[in-house]
Amino acid sequence: MQRRDILRAFGAAAAAQLLAPAARAGGGRGPGRHAGRLKHSVSRWCYGKIPIDDLCEAAKGIGYRSVELLDEADWPVPARHGMVCAMANGFGTIPVGFNRPDQHDRLVAAAERMIPRAAAAGVPNIVCFSGNRGGMSDGEGIANCITGFKRITPVAERHGVTLCLELLNSKVDHADYQADHTAWGAQVVQGVGSPRLKVLYDIYHMQIMEGDVIATIRANIAHIAHFHTGGVPGRHEIDDTQELNYRRVMQTIADLGFTGFVAQEFVPAREPALASLRQAFEICDV
C-alpha cells in the first residue's frame, strides 16, 4: 500500500469508531442484534412524562422486555406491547414495612389480596420494604421481618410470585431505612427460608452504602431475584459520568447464570431521555 492509501484506510477506521459509539458500548453487535444473556426492564417512574404506552413501545424497540414498578391498574399495559411488568409496586411503604409487628395484619391482608392478582396478570415479582428503624436494633428488625414474611410466603409459593425485599441506602436518599446492607436482607431471606422471598439488589443504593458490588453480588446471588441500576453519584445515567463500570457488573451477573431481570432505575439528566435509555441498554447488553 502507498502511504496515502494507508492514511486513507486509517482515517476511515477512525471515523467509523467515532461514528459508532453505540456499537462499541454494546460490544460491536450492531443495530437489532442483542447478546440476550440478561433480561432487561425499565422502571416506569423514571420516565413519568412519557405516556406509558409510548414508553412500552419505545423500550421494546430498544430491546427491553419489561416496564416495571407499576400499580395494579397498569399491569396489563406492557402485555399489549408483547412485554411484561417484571416488578409490581407492592404493599407497605419505604418508611413503614415488615419490621413493625403492629403493621403485620394490615400488610398480610394487602399481600393476600395482591399476590393472586399479580399471578393472574403474569407479574412475577412484588417489591416489599423493611421500613425505617425508628430506634429499633438490627436484630429486632430482622426477627420482625422474618415473622411477617413467613405469614405471606405460603401464599406467594402457591401462586408462583416472588416477594422482593428492596435494599436501599440510608445515607443519601432514605434516611433511617433499615434494610440498608446486603447482609441484613440476606439474613431475612435465610430466616424465612422460602424460595418466594428474595432480595431486590439495587446497585446504586448498595454502592453508596457498602461498595464492593461485584464481590457482594457473587457472594449473595442465591438470595437475589432482581437488580436495579443508577449512576453514582446523582442517580443519573450509568455511563462514564459516574463511578461504576456497569458493563463489568453486568458481565458478572450474566456469568453467574442469573435468570431474573435487570432494571434501569436511573433518572435521565439529558434530553432526549430515551437516548439515555438506549445507551443504558447497550452498556448492559452483555
Determine contact, residues 200/228, Cβ cutoff 8 Å: yes
* Percent with pLDDT over 70 in the chain: 89
pLDDT digits (tens, 9 = 90+) for 145-166: 999 999 999 999 999 999 999 9
Predicted pLDDT of residue 18 = 32
- Does CATH place domain 38-284 in 3.20.20.150? yes
pLDDT digits (tens, 9 = 90+) for 172-183: 999 999 999 999
Predicted pLDDT of residue 207 = 98
Assigned C-alpha cell, 169:
441506602
User: Whose CA is closest to 188, among 260, 131, 109, 113?
Assistant: 131
Please determine, for residue 25, whether its predicted confidence score (pLDDT) is greater than 90. Answer: no
Q: What is the mean pLDDT of the chain?
A: 91
Determine contact, residues 119/161, Cβ cutoff 8 Å: yes
Assigned C-alpha cell, 150:
413467613
Predicted pLDDT of residue 212 = 97
Predicted pLDDT of residue 28 = 41
Where does the pLDDT of residue 35 fall: very low under 50, low under 70, confident under 90, or very high at 90 and above? confident
Please determine, for residue 19, whether its predicted confidence score (pLDDT) is greater than 50. Answer: no
Q: CA-to-CA distance for 201 and 178, rounded, in angstroms?
A: 14
Please determine, for residue 13, whether its predicted confidence score (pLDDT) is greater than 80. Answer: no
Predicted pLDDT of residue 130 = 98
Residue predicted with more confidence, 5 or 123? 123
User: Whose CA is closest to 70, among 45, 49, 92?
Assistant: 45
What mean pLDDT do residues 52-73 have?
A: 98
Cell 449473595 sits at which residue? 220
pLDDT digits (tens, 9 = 90+) for 120-138: 999 999 999 999 999 999 9
Determine contact, residues 228/249, Cβ cutoff 8 Å: no
- How many Cβ atoms are within 10 Å of 103's Cβ, its own excluded? 18
Q: CA-to-CA distance for 223 and 164, rounded, in angstroms?
A: 10
Element (H, E) at 201: strand 197-202
User: Whose CA is closest to 163, among 194, 186, 134, 141?
Assistant: 194
Measure CA 82 to chain center.
20
Predicted pLDDT of residue 32 = 58
What mean pLDDT do residues 31-59 have?
A: 93
Where does the pLDDT of residue 15 fall: very low under 50, low under 70, confident under 90, or very high at 90 and above? very low
Please determine, for residue 242, whether its predicted confidence score (pLDDT) is greater than 80. Answer: yes
What mean pLDDT do residues 213-229 have?
A: 98
Cβ-proximal residues to 182 (8 Å cutoff; 6+ apart), any chain: 167, 199, 201, 206, 210, 216, 220
- Angle between helix 246-255 and 213-220 (nearest 10): 20
Where does the pLDDT of residue 107 fall: very low under 50, low under 70, confident under 90, or very high at 90 and above? very high
- How many Cβ atoms are within 10 Å of 144's Cβ, its own excluded? 23
Annotate 240-276 with b (16+ C-beta within 10 A) or e (fewer).
eebebebbebbbbbbeeebebbbbbbbbbeeeebbeb
Predicted pLDDT of residue 14 = 34
pLDDT digits (tens, 9 = 90+) for 81-106: 999 999 999 999 999 999 999 999 99
Assigned C-alpha cell, 107:
400488610
pLDDT digits (tens, 9 = 90+) for 196-210: 999 999 999 999 999
Please determine, for residue 16, whether its predicted confidence score (pLDDT) is greater than 80. Answer: no
Please determine, for residue 195, whether its predicted confidence score (pLDDT) is greater than 50. Answer: yes
